[in-house]
A = this chain, B = another copy of it.
Amino acid sequence: MEHRSKCPIASTLDLVGDRWTLLVLRNIFRGSRRYGEHLESPEGIATNILADRLALLEREGLIEKVAYQTRPLRHEYRLTRKGADLLPVLQTLATWSMKHVPDRWAPSERFMHSRPEDFLAQD
């Protein structure tokens, strides 16, 4: 990973500051775990972009691939602590939008009031 500067804000954006990465994370917070579930999100992410971003997030340690079945072997993507810790960023983005952009969906209470730890439980 290459950073434009040592500014902490710029460095975070170097990682997740593009058109899709934070939305992929949002999907996971909202329950998407499998590749196909991500494709159902309302914004309509392209398959190549999704594959690229999942690989990036895994390489950077924000999500991890966990097998959910063998025969055929299939994986799902889960948040690591590093990824889950971006929850406050998504919450503040949502809060801003609710105040300044008219006619948006209301985020769930559960989403707005949860903490990163809440998304780390195993099952």
Contacts and interface: CB of A to CB of B under 8 A. Distances in A.
B18 A94 contact: no
Interface residues of A, number: 42
Interface string A74-114: 00000000100110111111111111110111110000000
Given A6-B103, A19-B17, A43-B5, A12 B85 contact: no
B99 A85 contact: yes
Contact of A92 (B7, B19, B92): B92
Nearest to A61: B100
A91 B96 CA distance: 13
Contact of A12 (B15, B42, B101): B101
Interface in A17-61: 17-19, 22-23, 26, 42-44
A12 B89 contact: no
16 contacts: A4-B43, A4-B44, A6-B103, A6-B105, A8-B106, A9-B26, A9-B94, A10-B42, A11-B104, A12-B94, A12-B96, A12-B97, A13-B19, A17-B17, A18-B19, A88-B92
Nearest first, the 8 closest Cβ-Cβ pairs linking A and B are A8-B97, A5-B42, A4-B43, A8-B104, A88-B92, A12-B93, A8-B94, A12-B97
